[in-house]
Amino acid sequence: MFATWLDGRSPATLRAYCSDVDLLIAWLAESGIEQPDDVDRLVLRRWMASLVADSLAKSTISRKAAAVRSYFGFLVGRGYLDVDPSARLSAPTASSRLPDIVSAADLAVLLDDPIDEDDPTALRDRVVIELLYAAGLRVAELCGLDVDDVDLAEGTVVVLGKGSKERRVPIHERCALVIERYLDSARSLLMGEDSPPGALFFNRRGRRLGPRDVRRILDARSPSPTHPHALRHTFATHLLDGGADLRVVQELLGHSSLATTQLYTHVSKDRLQRVYDSTHPRA
């Protein structure tokens, strides 16, 4: 029931929250607490202390606390509890460190180095990398794309983001052209008998491409260690460096809050200097 109540969150969040709650229930059972009515704030603070004692990362503890708050919110909302013991449960502040942007040299290798276009895997990999950088997609959004989500004539992709929020993101002509070449040849060669017919990308087993597959693609193709999220961060940074409005970048990234975009994006010193030079009356 809790999993159904969480409907609308990303699959990764759903799995993590359910796992976190299962682990809490197991910890409570080991402590002799079998009923939600017996859980109070002091019990949850002891549980938090056990997480710290296990040397878990702050980000992990913060996520577990969020999962537990959701769980007790669910219990109160459904009438199983009268009082929410997690209402004022605080967690360590997770680090806001963001991935480094991909260097210009590495981008050139990822996007410009010649590939064997007769190799369907190589062409698929190029399209994956092009889309991550051209549209700033989250890796789960990219993996969830269907063929019908791509409009090559309009130069857009329709993305299902966090909270099942749909957005339309533009792509540039070069990205559209490489997608077209992939659809014309490579995609059908990667499909298997049991492949989901609408999926845009497939792995070597003919299944829908997954986040781990995308990480393996970057591991194999990038000259330096990187991560799919770094391409999203690079996308946002380059737009801001080129003068894009922060609210436009917020819309393209699918952030519900502008504050998230402000924390997420990196504004280079060069751009700050250009803005200063163009706006300060004495500059």
The count of C-alpha atoms lying within 13 angstroms of the C-alpha of 49, restricted to the half-sphere facing its C-beta, is: 6
Options 17, 133, 182, 264, the catalytic residue? 264
Buried b (16+ CB within 10 A) or exposed e, 54-82: eeeeeebbbbbbbbbbbbbebbbeeeebe
Options 63, 124, 221, 232, the catalytic residue? 232
280 is catalytic: no
Options 64, 126, 238, 255, the catalytic residue? 255
Ordered by where they begin, the domains of the chain are 2-77 (no CATH), 104-274 (1.10.443.10)
CA distances from 47 to 29, 39, 57, 99, 140 (A): 12, 11, 15, 31, 31
Options 41, 162, 167, 215, the catalytic residue? 162
Interhelix angle 211-221/228-241, nearest 10 degrees: 70
**Following CA atoms 50, 52, 56, 60 in sequence, which dihedral angle do they give, to the nearest 10 degrees?**
90
- pLDDT, tens digit only, all 283 positions of the chain: 788 888 777 788 888 999 999 999 999 999 999 898 899 988 998 998 898 888 888 888 888 998 999 999 999 998 999 999 998 887 766 655 666 789 999 999 999 999 998 999 999 999 999 999 999 999 999 999 999 999 999 999 999 887 778 899 999 999 999 999 999 999 999 999 999 999 999 999 999 999 999 999 999 999 998 989 999 999 998 998 888 888 898 889 988 878 777 776 656 656 667 767 887 777 6
Options 138, 167, 269, 282, the catalytic residue? 138
What is the model's pLDDT at position 32?
92
64 is catalytic: no
CA distances from 280 to 178, 240, 242, 245 (A): 43, 19, 19, 19
What is the model's pLDDT at position 38?
92
What is the model's pLDDT at position 265?
63
What is the model's pLDDT at position 272?
62
182 is catalytic: no
What is the model's pLDDT at position 274?
73
Residue whose token pair is 């490489």: 178
138 is catalytic: yes
Options 208, 229, 266, 271, the catalytic residue? 229
- The whole-model pTM stands at 0.67
| Residue 156: strand pairing partners | 151, 170
What is the model's pLDDT at position 44?
92
